[in-house]
Amino acid sequence: MSSIVIIGAQWGDEGKGKIVDYLAEGADQVVRFQGGNNAGHTLVVGGQKTVLHLVPSGALHPGVRCLIGNGVVVDPEVLLQEIEALRARGFLKDDSDLLVSDRAHVIFPYHKKMDQLREERRGKGKIGTTGRGIGPAYEDKAARMGIRIGELVESDLLKKRLEEVVPEKNLQFEKILNGSPFSVKELFQRYSEIGSCLKKYVGDVSRALYEARCHGKKILYEGAQGTALDVDHGTYPYVTSSNTVAGAVCAGSGVGPSAIDRVIGVTKAYTTRVGSGPFPTEETGEIGRRLQEGGGEFGATTGRPRRCGWLDLPLLKQSIRLSGINGLVITKLDILSALPTLNLCVAYRFRGGRYAEVPSALAPLEECQPEYETLPGWKENISDVRRLDQLPNAARKYLERIEKETGVPIDLVSVGPGREDNIIIRHPFS
């Protein structure tokens, strides 16, 4: 197995960063292929916490190359800060440790402003975005009004493109959004400087990946967000603005489907969601509070409290189908310790009907009642467990039930935030 995709199988924050960091030990390259700095991926190594928003989660392994594919939208200021912080700690030492696609699109301040103003205008119906300008940057890409990294790093090109794009943006701000205009001159000054700092990292990611694969290199593709936030298949419009399914690896990094050997879906042992939108198994009472406090469920990007609830198997099965997931990673099993009983959602009930699949329309998902199967809990702290047979019987039964219902084997169970806090059942690279 040389090329593995790691994606979130819920609404994001499943623990992808931790898993990618652990698996990166055996990898040569780690690639981000969609999203931007709406992502917040937490790595805990030797007790030290690192949160990465744009740089792939292989960065803490010297010798592992990090690549940012064309499908990512890059806030160059955030990228530069992240690189500098990592370099100050002795990581990303060589310029060749990071490669950013010249085709990736740039997030400018007007994208962030637009994101924020739109949310304000939506009022109660707001999406609850991260406010990082992700949606407006993808809009510009599709509208052929985007500015790419390859243009950011060539000052004459940057100037020309800003002159073409910014006047139209300003019209939108002045006439529709009630915002103040942006100055081409100021944007150019600030961004040409950032561009010149980033230039040494910019190149052709698709080509680099092709060559790496020809040389038998091991590659990890690191998803951001989760399948239920996919712009096509998620809970639209309460979604992010990119495709988060495994298929996005191909368009977002410039490789063909035959270049992918395995797809691993990461899911928490329960469910969380940040931002607005339907969440059938949400628990707003005592259980929700216990999961939130016990799991430290506060966003790694915005610090917002995450909504919490039981594991939703129809949602997980949908992710498995959409991304061709053939191995599962279950994270945060340790957080379920000491709950007397555990609920697993096996179907939705809506207006007298029973649905084992996620409906594509929003209303049934908003109004449905989850149908639960109740399993016994366990009392023991399992954070130090490293073998499946050392888990309490009830924890093993819980995992077995997930495997049976989904038909997909569990490769790894995570029982703590640290890099090594894992029960390995089948190593994905084996």
Binding site for ligand IMO (CB under 6 A): 8, 11-13, 38-41, 127-130, 132, 134-135, 224-226, 229, 240-241, 274-275, 300
Among ligand GDP, ligand IMO, Mg ion, none, what binds residue 416 when CB lies within 5 to 8 Å by partner kind?
ligand GDP
Q: Which of 267, 292, 319, 414 contacts ligand GDP by CB under 6 A?
A: 414
| Closer residue to ligand IMO in complex, CB, 128/392 | 128
Among ligand GDP, Mg ion, ligand IMO, none, what binds residue 417 when CB lies within 5 to 8 Å by partner kind?
ligand GDP
Q: Taking CA 391 as the corner, what is the angle to CA 387 and CA 393, rounded to the nearest 5 degrees? A: 140
Residues 6+ apart with CB under 8 A from 123: none
- Of 306-345, which residues contact ligand GDP (CB under 6 A)? 331-332, 334-335
Smallest gap from residue 39 Cβ to ligand IMO (A): 3
Q: Which of 149, 300, 336, 413 contacts Mg ion by CB under 5 A?
A: 300
| Closer residue to ligand GDP in complex, CB, 40/76 | 40
Pair of tokens at residue 321: 């189908």
CA–CA distance, 91 with 48 (Å, rounded to integer): 14
Q: Could you identify the residue written with the tokens 């997931």?
A: 325
| Closer residue to ligand GDP in complex, CB, 115/334 | 334
- The answer to whether 239 touches 11, Cβ cutoff 8 Å, is no
The CB density around residue 256, as the number of other CB atoms within 10 Å, is 9
Smallest gap from residue 14 Cβ to Mg ion (A): 8
The answer to whether 344 contacts Mg ion (rule: CB under 5 A) is no
The answer to whether 56 contacts Mg ion (rule: CB under 5 A) is no
- The answer to whether 219 touches 4, Cβ cutoff 8 Å, is yes
Q: Which of 5, 10, 11, 16 contacts ligand GDP by CB under 6 A?
A: 16
Q: Which of 3, 5, 9, 18 contacts ligand GDP by CB under 6 A?
A: 18
| Closer residue to ligand IMO in complex, CB, 151/230 | 230
Long-range pairs of 354-362 with CB within 8 A, sequence gap ≥ 24? 355/314, 356/314, 357/314, 357/317, 357/318, 358/314, 358/315, 358/318, 362/235, 362/236, 362/238, 362/278
Query: DSSP 3-state assignment of 281?
Result: coil
| Closer residue to ligand IMO in complex, CB, 235/343 | 235
Nearest to 45 by CA among 83, 18, 16: 18
The catalytic residue positions are 13, 41
The answer to whether 40 contacts Mg ion (rule: CB under 5 A) is yes
| Closer residue to Mg ion in complex, CB, 213/419 | 419
Among ligand IMO, Mg ion, ligand GDP, none, what binds residue 385 when CB lies within 5 to 8 Å by partner kind?
none
Among ligand GDP, Mg ion, ligand IMO, none, what binds residue 114 when CB lies within 5 to 8 Å by partner kind?
none
- The answer to whether 291 touches 325, Cβ cutoff 8 Å, is no
CA distances from 381 to 21, 165, 290, 391 (A): 24, 56, 15, 10
- By CB under 6 A, which span of 38-46, 206-214, 244-252, 283-291 interacts with ligand GDP? 38-46
Smallest gap from residue 341 Cβ to ligand IMO (A): 28
Q: Which of 7, 8, 9, 13 contacts Mg ion by CB under 5 A?
A: 13
Half-sphere exposure of 220 (CA within 13 A, CB side): 30
The CB density around residue 168, as the number of other CB atoms within 10 Å, is 12
Mind giving me the DSSP string for 391-428? Answer: S-HHHHHHHHHHHHHH---EEEEE-SSBTT-EEESS-T
CA distances from 87 to 60, 81, 118, 151, 163 (A): 10, 10, 36, 25, 34
Contacts with ligand GDP by CB under 6 A lie at: 8, 12-18, 40-42, 44, 296, 300, 331-332, 334-335, 414-417
Contacts with Mg ion by CB under 5 A lie at: 13, 40, 300
